[in-house]
Amino acid sequence: MGARDQEQQMTTVSILGGTGGLGKGLGARWAQAGIDVIVGSRSPERAAAAAEDLAGMVGEAAPHVRGAGNLEAAQAGDVTVVSVPFEGLDEALAPLGDALDGRIVVSVVNPLGFDGAGPYSLPVAEGSAAEAVARRLPGARVVAAFHSVSSVELQRLEGPMDDDVPVVGDDEEAVAVAVELAERIEGIRSFPAGPLRLAAPLEDLTAVLISINKRHRSHVGLRFSRLSR
Protein backbone atom coordinates (compact mmCIF):
# COMPACT_ATOMS: atom_id res chain seq x y z
CA MET A 1 0.00 0.00 0.00
CA GLY A 2 1.39 3.42 -0.87
CA ALA A 3 1.63 6.35 1.50
CA ARG A 4 -1.21 8.12 -0.33
CA ASP A 5 -3.53 5.13 0.18
CA GLN A 6 -2.57 5.05 3.84
CA GLU A 7 -3.36 8.76 4.07
CA GLN A 8 -6.88 8.06 2.78
CA GLN A 9 -7.31 5.32 5.38
CA MET A 10 -5.80 7.28 8.25
CA THR A 11 -9.02 8.13 9.99
CA THR A 12 -8.37 7.49 13.67
CA VAL A 13 -5.42 8.52 15.80
CA SER A 14 -5.18 7.19 19.35
CA ILE A 15 -3.07 9.07 21.86
CA LEU A 16 -1.83 7.04 24.83
CA GLY A 17 -1.48 9.51 27.69
CA GLY A 18 -3.71 11.87 25.70
CA THR A 19 -4.81 13.40 29.01
CA GLY A 20 -1.47 15.29 29.24
CA GLY A 21 -0.58 18.63 27.73
CA LEU A 22 1.03 17.35 24.55
CA GLY A 23 -1.68 14.78 23.89
CA LYS A 24 -4.39 17.37 24.31
CA GLY A 25 -2.61 19.79 22.00
CA LEU A 26 -2.02 17.25 19.25
CA GLY A 27 -5.53 15.84 19.68
CA ALA A 28 -7.11 19.27 19.40
CA ARG A 29 -5.16 20.13 16.25
CA TRP A 30 -5.97 16.81 14.60
CA ALA A 31 -9.64 16.99 15.51
CA GLN A 32 -9.71 20.46 13.95
CA ALA A 33 -8.23 18.91 10.81
CA GLY A 34 -11.07 16.37 10.66
CA ILE A 35 -9.13 13.41 12.03
CA ASP A 36 -10.89 11.20 14.59
CA VAL A 37 -8.99 11.27 17.87
CA ILE A 38 -9.17 8.84 20.77
CA VAL A 39 -7.79 10.25 24.02
CA GLY A 40 -6.19 7.31 25.83
CA SER A 41 -5.52 7.03 29.54
CA ARG A 42 -4.74 4.41 32.18
CA SER A 43 -8.15 5.39 33.53
CA PRO A 44 -11.19 5.35 31.23
CA GLU A 45 -12.79 7.96 33.52
CA ARG A 46 -9.86 10.35 33.10
CA ALA A 47 -9.93 9.67 29.36
CA ALA A 48 -13.62 10.56 29.18
CA ALA A 49 -13.08 13.76 31.18
CA ALA A 50 -10.10 14.80 29.03
CA ALA A 51 -12.04 14.03 25.85
CA GLU A 52 -14.84 16.26 27.10
CA ASP A 53 -12.34 19.09 27.77
CA LEU A 54 -10.86 18.62 24.35
CA ALA A 55 -14.27 18.59 22.68
CA GLY A 56 -14.96 21.93 24.42
CA MET A 57 -11.70 23.32 23.04
CA VAL A 58 -12.41 22.36 19.45
CA GLY A 59 -16.10 23.32 19.25
CA GLU A 60 -17.45 22.19 15.90
CA ALA A 61 -14.83 19.44 15.68
CA ALA A 62 -16.06 17.89 18.96
CA PRO A 63 -17.65 14.85 17.24
CA HIS A 64 -14.14 13.82 16.22
CA VAL A 65 -13.05 13.26 19.85
CA ARG A 66 -13.68 10.46 22.33
CA GLY A 67 -11.93 8.92 25.30
CA ALA A 68 -10.96 5.32 26.08
CA GLY A 69 -8.63 3.28 28.23
CA ASN A 70 -5.17 2.95 26.69
CA LEU A 71 -5.76 -0.66 25.56
CA GLU A 72 -9.07 0.10 23.85
CA ALA A 73 -7.50 3.20 22.29
CA ALA A 74 -4.56 1.17 20.97
CA GLN A 75 -6.90 -1.43 19.48
CA ALA A 76 -9.02 1.21 17.75
CA GLY A 77 -6.38 3.55 16.33
CA ASP A 78 -5.02 3.44 12.79
CA VAL A 79 -2.02 5.26 14.25
CA THR A 80 -1.13 5.30 17.94
CA VAL A 81 0.87 8.10 19.54
CA VAL A 82 2.81 7.27 22.71
CA SER A 83 2.59 10.49 24.74
CA VAL A 84 3.53 9.49 28.28
CA PRO A 85 6.59 10.46 30.34
CA PHE A 86 9.69 8.34 29.70
CA GLU A 87 9.41 6.91 33.21
CA GLY A 88 5.89 5.68 32.37
CA LEU A 89 6.73 3.57 29.31
CA ASP A 90 6.60 0.22 31.11
CA GLU A 91 3.36 1.01 32.89
CA ALA A 92 1.74 2.39 29.73
CA LEU A 93 2.90 -0.21 27.22
CA ALA A 94 3.04 -3.52 29.13
CA PRO A 95 -0.77 -3.86 29.43
CA LEU A 96 -1.17 -3.46 25.66
CA GLY A 97 0.17 -6.94 24.90
CA ASP A 98 0.21 -7.48 21.15
CA ALA A 99 -2.54 -4.93 20.41
CA LEU A 100 -0.11 -2.80 18.42
CA ASP A 101 1.49 -5.58 16.38
CA GLY A 102 1.76 -4.44 12.77
CA ARG A 103 0.46 -0.96 13.69
CA ILE A 104 2.13 2.41 13.25
CA VAL A 105 3.26 3.86 16.56
CA VAL A 106 4.63 7.40 16.95
CA SER A 107 6.86 8.07 19.95
CA VAL A 108 6.96 11.70 21.06
CA VAL A 109 8.79 10.81 24.27
CA ASN A 110 11.73 12.89 25.45
CA PRO A 111 13.77 11.16 28.18
CA LEU A 112 14.61 14.25 30.20
CA GLY A 113 15.41 15.00 33.80
CA PHE A 114 15.35 18.36 35.57
CA ASP A 115 17.55 19.72 38.34
CA GLY A 116 18.68 23.11 39.59
CA ALA A 117 20.58 23.73 36.34
CA GLY A 118 17.53 22.96 34.20
CA PRO A 119 16.71 20.09 31.82
CA TYR A 120 19.16 17.34 30.91
CA SER A 121 19.10 14.07 28.91
CA LEU A 122 18.54 10.85 30.82
CA PRO A 123 20.64 7.85 29.82
CA VAL A 124 18.57 5.25 27.96
CA ALA A 125 19.78 1.66 27.72
CA GLU A 126 18.15 1.15 24.29
CA GLY A 127 19.75 4.34 22.89
CA SER A 128 16.63 6.52 22.85
CA ALA A 129 13.09 6.63 24.18
CA ALA A 130 11.82 5.69 20.71
CA GLU A 131 14.02 2.60 20.66
CA ALA A 132 12.80 1.80 24.18
CA VAL A 133 9.25 1.97 22.80
CA ALA A 134 10.26 -0.33 19.92
CA ARG A 135 11.85 -2.78 22.38
CA ARG A 136 8.60 -2.91 24.36
CA LEU A 137 6.41 -3.22 21.21
CA PRO A 138 8.48 -5.56 19.03
CA GLY A 139 5.69 -6.11 16.49
CA ALA A 140 4.92 -2.42 15.99
CA ARG A 141 6.14 -0.05 13.25
CA VAL A 142 7.70 2.58 15.51
CA VAL A 143 8.67 6.06 14.36
CA ALA A 144 9.56 9.14 16.39
CA ALA A 145 8.41 12.75 15.90
CA PHE A 146 7.05 15.92 17.54
CA HIS A 147 9.84 16.08 20.13
CA SER A 148 10.26 19.84 20.02
CA VAL A 149 6.67 20.95 19.42
CA SER A 150 5.29 23.02 22.30
CA SER A 151 2.15 21.72 23.98
CA VAL A 152 1.27 25.31 24.90
CA GLU A 153 1.45 26.46 21.28
CA LEU A 154 -0.49 23.40 20.10
CA GLN A 155 -3.29 24.24 22.51
CA ARG A 156 -3.37 27.87 21.36
CA LEU A 157 -5.84 26.96 18.65
CA GLU A 158 -6.47 30.44 17.30
CA GLY A 159 -3.21 30.54 15.34
CA PRO A 160 -1.16 28.22 13.12
CA MET A 161 1.95 26.45 14.41
CA ASP A 162 5.42 27.53 13.23
CA ASP A 163 7.49 24.35 13.42
CA ASP A 164 9.42 21.76 11.49
CA VAL A 165 8.80 18.16 12.53
CA PRO A 166 11.53 15.75 11.40
CA VAL A 167 10.37 12.14 11.54
CA VAL A 168 12.78 9.25 12.09
CA GLY A 169 12.05 5.56 11.64
CA ASP A 170 13.14 2.39 9.87
CA ASP A 171 9.79 1.73 8.14
CA GLU A 172 9.45 4.18 5.25
CA GLU A 173 5.68 3.85 4.93
CA ALA A 174 5.23 4.42 8.64
CA VAL A 175 7.46 7.50 8.42
CA ALA A 176 5.39 8.79 5.48
CA VAL A 177 2.18 8.36 7.45
CA ALA A 178 3.64 10.27 10.41
CA VAL A 179 4.82 13.04 8.07
CA GLU A 180 1.32 13.31 6.63
CA LEU A 181 -0.18 13.37 10.11
CA ALA A 182 2.18 16.17 11.18
CA GLU A 183 1.37 18.21 8.08
CA ARG A 184 -2.35 18.01 8.79
CA ILE A 185 -1.55 20.56 11.51
CA GLU A 186 -1.51 24.05 10.01
CA GLY A 187 1.95 25.65 10.13
CA ILE A 188 3.91 22.42 10.55
CA ARG A 189 6.34 21.29 7.86
CA SER A 190 7.39 17.67 8.23
CA PHE A 191 9.82 15.38 6.43
CA PRO A 192 11.67 12.07 6.83
CA ALA A 193 14.95 12.61 8.69
CA GLY A 194 16.57 9.17 8.89
CA PRO A 195 16.48 5.86 10.75
CA LEU A 196 15.12 5.32 14.26
CA ARG A 197 18.64 5.29 15.67
CA LEU A 198 18.68 9.06 15.14
CA ALA A 199 15.86 9.55 17.62
CA ALA A 200 18.29 10.17 20.49
CA PRO A 201 19.68 13.50 19.23
CA LEU A 202 16.17 14.75 18.43
CA GLU A 203 15.00 13.81 21.91
CA ASP A 204 18.10 15.34 23.53
CA LEU A 205 17.76 18.59 21.58
CA THR A 206 14.50 19.22 23.43
CA ALA A 207 16.51 19.82 26.60
CA VAL A 208 18.20 22.73 24.82
CA LEU A 209 14.85 24.13 23.64
CA ILE A 210 13.40 23.95 27.15
CA SER A 211 16.51 25.66 28.51
CA ILE A 212 16.11 28.43 25.91
CA ASN A 213 12.44 28.74 26.87
CA LYS A 214 13.26 29.13 30.54
CA ARG A 215 15.86 31.81 29.85
CA HIS A 216 13.85 33.73 27.29
CA ARG A 217 10.29 33.09 28.52
CA SER A 218 9.32 31.67 25.13
CA HIS A 219 8.02 28.54 23.43
CA VAL A 220 10.61 28.15 20.69
CA GLY A 221 10.29 25.53 17.98
CA LEU A 222 12.61 24.12 15.32
CA ARG A 223 13.00 25.35 11.75
CA PHE A 224 15.58 23.89 9.32
CA SER A 225 16.82 26.30 6.66
CA ARG A 226 17.47 25.56 2.96
CA LEU A 227 15.60 22.26 2.92
CA SER A 228 14.67 21.34 -0.66
CA ARG A 229 12.07 18.68 -1.31
Ligand X SMILES: NC(=O)c1ccc[n+]([C@@H]2O[C@H](COP(=O)([O-])OP(=O)(O)OC[C@H]3O[C@@H](n4cnc5c(N)ncnc54)[C@H](OP(=O)(O)O)[C@@H]3O)[C@@H](O)[C@H]2O)c1
**Interface map 30-69 toward ligand X (x if CB under 6 A):** -----------xxx--x-----------------------
Our finding on whether 156 is near ligand X (CB under 6 A) is no
Our finding on whether 20 is near ligand X (CB under 6 A) is yes
Our finding on whether 189 is near ligand X (CB under 6 A) is no
Q: How far is the CB of 184 from ligand X (least distance, A)?
A: 17
User: Residue 206 half-sphere exposure, CB side, CA atoms within 13 Å?
Assistant: 24
Whether 31 and 15 have beta carbons less than 8 Å apart is answered as no
Q: How far is the CB of 201 from ligand X (least distance, A)?
A: 15
Our finding on whether 27 is near ligand X (CB under 6 A) is no
Our finding on whether 83 is near ligand X (CB under 6 A) is yes
Q: Please return the burial class of 67, using the count of CB atoms within 10 Å of its CB with bins 0-12, 13-18 and 19+.
A: buried
Measured between alpha carbons, how far is 211 from 66 in angstroms, rounded to an integer?
34
Select from 11, 71, 80, 77 the least CA-distant residue to 41: 71
Scanning residues 107 to 126, which ones bind ligand X (CB under 6 A)?
A: 108-110
Our finding on whether 22 is near ligand X (CB under 6 A) is yes
CA 185 to chain centroid, in Å, comes to: 12
